[in-house]
Structure 1
């Protein structure tokens, strides 16, 4: 699964995709967890989703989005700003963050709202549904419905 960086977080994504800057996600999450080794597999069996700084969970979401027919895009600047995914949601470009930790607060959405004019975003986490300050939080398993 290839996820292209966007030069600007706007629709249509294909017009702003940088085809020479991208991330690659495993399509087979089982192979990825096998690649990480026994320690990671054991952590998964005990429900630890924070392993590898959430990289495995991010790969799971990438796979879900691809299987639901979405092309993968992310947004990253030369600074520390990086948005895991951008999706077209209700006809609008929408930032999508994946959080593996219990603490799902991040400065990313706030920065997008202040500097790029976004008024809503989505966070997927291990927590329950919540909506605060334009950010809608969904449990990871809801990714297939976005």
Structure 2
């Protein structure tokens, strides 16, 4: 058995967002993400690193946010895929959660509610997708099958349900 260095997270393309995702995989088409977002940012120039630290509004955080999501999902042992179709478009991640196919979009800009590929797939009955997550800098919101969440809430991915995506935390024990 070959050992892997695990410095990268491969995310394979699927032919269609239907179960089982593993059987829809196109092994020759994949994206690679770093297993540590620090590895990614170490490749950035000093100017870009400073813009990130200073929360510069002009910088596109799309690649950074996608890498964070890939890293967190991999840490939760979620098998990751992505979908790209000429007919429907592309979305960032697809996974199986609670026995269902779940698309995940990662948005870094203010127009995080624009996602035509996701809309196209959600309206196709043949895919039978009941929920999709859109992760962004926005707030928690549920609209039809779409669940909008702040980026940091990806850590709760295993506990998320479409019916009640808002969690109450008991912080009484903290001092």
TM-score over 0.5 for the alignment? yes
The CA RMSD measured in Å over matched residues stands at: 1.9
Deviation at 1:80, TM superposition (A): 7.0
Paired residue for 1:9, among 14, 17, 24? 17
C-alpha separation between the residues in 2 aligned to 1:15 and 1:67? Answer: 23
* Residue equivalent to 2:129: 118
Q: Name the one with the larger helix percent.
A: 1
C-alpha separation between the residues in 1 aligned to 2:34 and 2:82? Answer: 16
In structure 1, runs of 5+ residues without a counterpart are: none
Over 6 Å off, 4+ runs: none
Paired residue for 1:127, among 128, 134, 138? 138
Distance verdict in 2 for CA 1:21–1:58, change over 3 Å:
same
Equivalent pairs, count: 146
**Residue 116 of structure 2 is aligned to residue 107 of structure 1:** yes
* Residue equivalent to 1:93: 101
Deviation at 1:35, TM superposition (A): 0.7
Whichever of the two has the greater Rg, that structure is: 2
Deviation at 1:49, TM superposition (A): 7.6
**Residue 39 of structure 2 is aligned to residue 28 of structure 1:** no
Distance verdict in 2 for CA 1:37–1:85, change over 3 Å:
same
Distance verdict in 2 for CA 1:144–1:13, change over 3 Å:
same
* Normalised TM-score (structure 2): 0.76
In structure 2, runs of 5+ residues without a counterpart are: 1-8, 158-175
